[in-house]
Chain A
């Protein structure tokens, strides 16, 4: 089991998301009426070499705020640990 920290970033709610809008347009063309909107964000998977301590998690949060997202246009939605099984 390799510990992975997941960072999720979304464009700010009040901003236009042209990429999501384009996908929503494709849904409409497929005749899909269940989903009224689509917004596209980003998921980062940070592989941790060792144990995920409070300090490592804090470092990930800092990285999420300072580099992985731009606070002017995006929000960090979640930072959490995920145990993934890899070969």
Chain B
């Protein structure tokens, strides 16, 4: 199985996402923002970073990239797409997920290991989790405050489109503690925290068992692997 990771000008975590795909047992494929070629991948990750220096709005210019025409078409045809941090912002700007992300309510950039509760374990990227499972993955952003109009919020809450919620503290003022979303079909998932940074023992968040041993993020990638193999 091939997982494509799109590199935009200003992407930072593209190689981490490729590594996560490899650790899960998939073949990572580097995709380029200026191309229209998805190179036969089975799933796509839009990685974290600061595409176009966050000019205009976070993710807004990247959402206009040539490759995004193909990503939107593939997503609408059911291909699994995961947007992490800046990738989540790009998905929102591309209208693949509802709402918007604004500057953290406290005004500070935040970087911490963040506990999350899994709210939807039936998306392409979350089937390896249980609903209600608590996981820890790193979070690092300055503009992660999720907002949406009241009517849409009611709809996404009602239809199970909230995929992850912040636990312990709301780190950025997101409505309803929303950390991540899925679309109606469950193939597109976006979240502010970074699962790709919690995929290899020794390089993840601390756990009760040992320092830096947290690998909760790997389940995103093993989930999509299983999802894709099951569909094949």
User: Does residue B127 face the partner (Cβ distance < 8 Å to A)?
Assistant: no
Inter-chain contact A18/B105, CB cutoff 8 Å: yes
Q: Which B residues are in CB contact (< 8 Å) with A22?
A: 107
**A70-B100 contact given A16-B105, A18-B105, A18-B107, CB 8 Å threshold:** yes
Q: Which A residues are in CB contact (< 8 Å) with B107?
A: 18-19, 21-22
Q: Which A residues are in CB contact (< 8 Å) with B57?
A: 70, 73
Inter-chain contact A73/B147, CB cutoff 8 Å: yes
Q: Which A residues are in CB contact (< 8 Å) with B105?
A: 16, 18
Residue of A nearest to B149 (CB): A72
CA distance A21 to B102 in the complex (A): 14
User: Does residue A67 face the partner (Cβ distance < 8 Å to B)?
Assistant: yes
Q: Which A residues are in CB contact (< 8 Å) with B162?
A: none
CA distance A38 to B149 in the complex (A): 24
Residue of B nearest to A21 (CB): B107
Q: Which A residues are in CB contact (< 8 Å) with B93?
A: 70
For this complex, into which size category does the number of interface residues on chain B fall? Answer: 10 to 19
**Interface residues contributed by chain A, number (CB under 8 Å):** 12
Inter-chain contact B64/A15, CB cutoff 8 Å: no
**0 or 1 for each of B76-114: is its CB under 8 Å from A? (1 = yes):** 000000000000000011000011101111110000000
User: Does residue B173 face the partner (Cβ distance < 8 Å to A)?
Assistant: yes
CA distance A70 to B105 in the complex (A): 18
Inter-chain contact A16/B173, CB cutoff 8 Å: yes
Q: Which B residues are in CB contact (< 8 Å) with A11?
A: 102
**A18-B104 contact given A72-B99, A72-B149, CB 8 Å threshold:** yes
Q: Which B residues are in CB contact (< 8 Å) with A15?
A: 102, 147
**Chain B nearest Cβ from A40, distance in angstroms:** 11
**A72-B100 contact given A15-B147, A16-B173, A67-B60, CB 8 Å threshold:** yes
User: Does residue A68 face the partner (Cβ distance < 8 Å to B)?
Assistant: yes
CA distance A11 to B143 in the complex (A): 14
Residue of A nearest to B142 (CB): A18
Inter-chain contact A72/B148, CB cutoff 8 Å: yes
B binding-site residues for A, Cβ under 8 Å: 56-57, 60, 64, 92-93, 98-100, 102-107, 147-149, 173
A binding-site residues for B, Cβ under 8 Å: 11, 15-16, 18-19, 21-22, 67-68, 70, 72-73
